[in-house]
Amino acid sequence: MGDSINCREAHARLHDYLKQELTPELAEEVRAHLEKCRPCFKEARFEQSFLVMLATTSRKTSCPGKLREKILTALRAEMERG
Amino acid sequence: MQPGYILSMAEPTTAGPQFDAEALPHLDALYRVALRLTSDPSQAEDLVQDTMLKAYRAWRQYRPGTNARGWLLTILRNTFINDYRRRKLEPVATDIEAVEPHALYRHVEEVDPEGAFFSQIVDDKVLEAVDALPPDFREVLVLSDMEGMSYGEIAEALHIPVGTVKSRLFRARRQLQTALYQYAVETGIIPARETHHG
Ligand SMILES: [Zn+2]
């Protein structure tokens, strides 16, 4: 465990870690740090709540059926025009 | 060359089944992003329809099996900037360090260490707070944290470096968290923190 990262480095990579944007090596360093550092683990959990909430909120909206129909009709008209 | 082209040999100029299969599944994402960019449901509808028609006409420029969502979102965004946004991007307060609030976690770790308050705020208020972000920030936050696009995909769609995506995201998240926190305090979802002196 010679090259473990400190809290500052873990903090700087936290969002990228949660978004799975780190290389496997960097992600592993963060994961190992969170496992042994309670304050950073708690902060990660807090940030995770925020990101999960945003993704969940977003998924509740979908394209209205009427709009979908309108678009398909417009596309068909466009196709017939050639 | 592409199997899809064999199917559409009778009408080589139409996008047909391949367009349906690759583009239509992204209507939900396009509509959501359009809503956030325009903050207006009827404009969002027009924007999605314009986007799909442009995509259809430009379909031969799309390489089948690549990132259809990114390709469509690029068209949506260009259409929005060119035809919908009333004024060209005013150089937004994007680069003013002074407006950056501090990390919210430090502020609320005693009252709500798990960030439970985030999911207690009604969806409409969350979306309102997203819409209130400066346009450059809002855009990356919507694409990344609401639509799940990777930093690389966003950089490509917006023609900006990945580093810019990351710095805008960092600021967007901080501003949004601060706004949501303020709302949560105002509405009593979480208690206001006592002010410490010194
Ligand atoms: Zn730590």
What pTM does this model have? Answer: 0.86
Q: What is the CATH number of domain B12-88?
A: 1.10.1740.10
- Using pLDDT thresholds of 50, 70 and 90, give the confidence band for residue A3: low
Inside any domain, residue A26 = yes
Decide if A57 contacts B123 (C-beta within 8 A): yes
Cα B52 from Cα B58, distance rounded (Å): 10
Q: Which residues of chain A have a CB within 8 Å of the CB of B169?
A: 15
Over the stretch A13-62, which tens digit does the pLDDT of each residue have? 999 999 999 999 999 999 999 999 999 999 999 999 999 999 999 999 99
Please compute the mean of the pLDDT values over residues B3-10 and round it to a whole number: 42
Q: Which residues of chain A have a CB within 8 Å of the CB of B141?
A: 54
Ligand 1 center–CA A10 separation, angstroms: 6
Please compute the mean of the pLDDT values over residues B60-73 and round it to a whole number: 92
Of A50, A75, A79, the CB nearest to B177: A50
| ipTM entry | 0.92
Domain that holds residue A28: 7-81
Over the stretch B30-61, which tens digit does the pLDDT of each residue have? 999 999 999 999 999 999 999 999 999 999 99
Q: Tokens 């799975």 sit at which residue? A: A20
Decide if B150 contacts A21 (C-beta within 8 A): yes
- pLDDT at residue B193 in the model: 72
**B153-to-A41, B67, B189 alpha-carbon distances in Å:** 28, 9, 36
Instruction: Answer yes or no: CATH 1.10.3720.10 is held by domain B104-186.
Output: no
Read out DSSP for B30-62?
HHHHHHHHHS-HHHHHHHHHHHHHHHHHTGGGS
Inside any domain, residue A1 = no
Of B115, B127, B148, the CB nearest to A46: B115
- pLDDT at residue A22 in the model: 97
Q: Which residues of chain A have a CB within 8 Å of the CB of B13?
A: 82
How many domains does chain A divide into?
Answer: 1
Inside any domain, residue A68 = yes
Residue A12, chain B, CB below 8 Å: the answer is: no
Q: Helix B68-79 vs helix B151-158: angle between axes, to the nearest 10 degrees? A: 40
Long-range contacts at B58-61 (CB < 8 A, ≥ 24 apart): B59/B15, B59/B18, B59/B19, B59/B23, B60/B15
Tokens of B148: 């799940």
Domain limits, chain B: 12-88, 104-186
Inside any domain, residue A61 = yes
- Answer yes or no: is pLDDT of B6 > 90: no
What number of CA atoms fall less than 13 Å from residue B85's CA on the CB side?
A: 16
- Answer yes or no: is pLDDT of A66 > 60: yes
Inside any domain, residue A72 = yes
Inside any domain, residue A2 = no
Inside any domain, residue A15 = yes
